[in-house]
Amino acid sequence: MRGDIIVQKYGGTSVANVERIMHVAERVVKTKKNGYKVVVVVSALGDTTDELIALANRITDEPPERELDMLMATGEQVSSALLAMAIQKIGEEAISFTGAQVGIMTDRAHTKARIQGVDAKRILKELEKDRIVIVAGFQGITEDQEITTLGRGGSNITAVALAAVLKAQECEMNTDVDGVYTADPRIVKDARKIDQISYEEMLEMASSGAQVLQARSIEAASKFGVRIHVRGTFHETEGTIISKEVRAMENVLVSGITLTKNEAKVTVCDVPDKPGSAAKIFEMLGEANINVDMIIQNVSRTGATDVSFTVPRDELAKTLKVANKVSGEIGAHGVTYDEEMAKVSAIGIGMRSHSGVAATMFKTLADEGINIDMISTSEIKISCVIKKTNGEKAVKALHKAFDLGKKS
């Protein structure tokens, strides 16, 4: 009965100004005229969220997270109301809602809350009235009526959650590029649009730098079987379908190359080589809520060994505080760091059944004269930490080495 619902998310660049909002309104109305019930999720206009955070930082270095959520949630309230007005102006009925109004319930983790449930009654009632429903992305409400936000890029997860509870036919993610590419098209000019990709690969791509979708939203889509269609707001073409693995995908060795430029490497020096040292370091980092990515520990020859790990650069200050403290406690010899690191990754489910990807990757970087600082692998991904200044060069070289460019 509800198979005709479609959820469309529009990102910040898609609604950056009044002209674009009018364009989005036209597109939404067109979808409705094609026979769908449309639920729209919007991000804040352009860089609004960054601007709001910057404003808070002019008052204090550490804005209280509850108030930060109150502040950031306003961004999406503005865009959803404006889009509702734009749609009404062109003659369709539309109504906008905050996350709280449509029962997007979350836990209490301010600035990175998780959705715990959605009560779709209100939305369904409005859809029955033949209205287009617009929901402010990126926000929810706790049991005790506190406004929360869902982490940066969180409108994606709002859209997936709504698509799941409404059993929508598809969750469209409309953005400034017309799909997911084999590498960030801003870096690699001949990057190719991917027609179809598995949840698994997209999750690895998103969590290793392809900012086009938020990693958590793909996790949720995979869990609830929501089909995602990444499309261009300003394009009419088909985009990229993200769904369960299909056979044809297995023939592709590497699907994409990604880059994150905001890595910091921290080394705890001469950690005594005895049980419990590493546990203590990572236990304390965990307690401080720091997201540790890669970890390496060398073989000890002298009874002590260096332990290195990477963290997002904006968590470096917090990390150094904890690392210095723990270094003293476990009898290590201090902490060094390098904040100018990047991580380049090759992703593809074909790696499961083919060997040699790692060798090609290392050789390609070597031929470019790029030194590898750290390596980590999963079943379908290989990542190398390198100097940030080499980041884009590495992506271009790997994209070429794995033959991912447009075929002429």
Which DSSP state fits 351? G
For 309, counting Cβ atoms within 10 Å of its Cβ (0-12 exposed, 13-18 middle, 19+ buried), the class is buried
* Contact of residue 137 among ligand ASP, Mg ion, ligand ADP, none (CB under 5-8 Å per partner type): ligand ASP
Residue 40 Cβ vs Mg ion, minimum distance, rounded to whole Å:
16
Residue 234 Cβ vs ligand ADP, minimum distance, rounded to whole Å:
11
Give the per-residue contact string, 125-144, with ligand ASP (x = CB under 6 A; - = no).
------------xx------
Helix axes 18-33, 65-89, angle to 10 degrees: 60
Q: What are 376's strand-pairing partners?
A: 383
For 402, counting Cβ atoms within 10 Å of its Cβ (0-12 exposed, 13-18 middle, 19+ buried), the class is buried
**Of 8, 14, 106, 155, the one binding ligand ASP by CB under 6 A:** 155
Nearest residue (CB) to Mg ion, 46 versus 153: 153
Interaction with Mg ion in 130-169: which residues (CB under 5 A)?
153
**Of 46, 154, 179, 391, the one binding ligand ASP by CB under 6 A:** 154
| Residue 10 is a binding residue for ligand ASP (CB under 6 A) | no
Cα 294 to Cα 129: distance, rounded to the nearest angstrom: 51
| Residue 88 is a binding residue for ligand ADP (CB under 6 A) | no
Encode burial over 281-290: b for 16+ CB neighbours within 10 A, e otherwise.
beebbeeeeb
Q: What are 271's strand-pairing partners?
A: 305
Which ranges of 271-390 would DSSP assign to H, the alpha helix?
Answer: 277-287, 316-330, 357-367
| Residue 209 is a binding residue for Mg ion (CB under 5 A) | no
Interaction with ligand ASP in 60-99: which residues (CB under 6 A)?
75
Give the per-residue contact string, 10-39, with ligand ADP (x = CB under 6 A; - = no).
-xxxx-------------------------
* Contact of residue 75 among Mg ion, ligand ASP, ligand ADP, none (CB under 5-8 Å per partner type): ligand ASP
Size of the site for ligand ADP (CB under 6 A): 19
| Residue 183 is a binding residue for ligand ADP (CB under 6 A) | yes
* Contact of residue 44 among Mg ion, ligand ADP, ligand ASP, none (CB under 5-8 Å per partner type): ligand ASP
Q: Establish how many alpha carbons lie within 13 A of residue 192's alpha carbon, considering only the half-sphere containing its beta carbon.
A: 16
* Contact of residue 49 among ligand ADP, Mg ion, ligand ASP, none (CB under 5-8 Å per partner type): ligand ASP
Q: What strand order describes the sheet that includes 256-272?
A: 295-297, 304-312, 256-272, 335-347, 381-387, 374-378
**Of 92, 146, 170, 176, the one binding ligand ADP by CB under 6 A:** 176
Size of the site for Mg ion (CB under 5 A): 2
Contacts of 323 (CB under 8 A, 6+ apart): 266, 268, 281, 285, 335
| Residue 256 is a binding residue for ligand ASP (CB under 6 A) | no
**Of 30, 186, 189, 325, the one binding ligand ADP by CB under 6 A:** 186
Q: What strand order describes the sheet that includes 139-141?
A: 115-118, 104-106, 139-141, 147-149
Binding residues for ligand ADP, rule: CB under 6 A, are: 11-14, 43, 153, 175-177, 180-181, 183-186, 210-212, 256
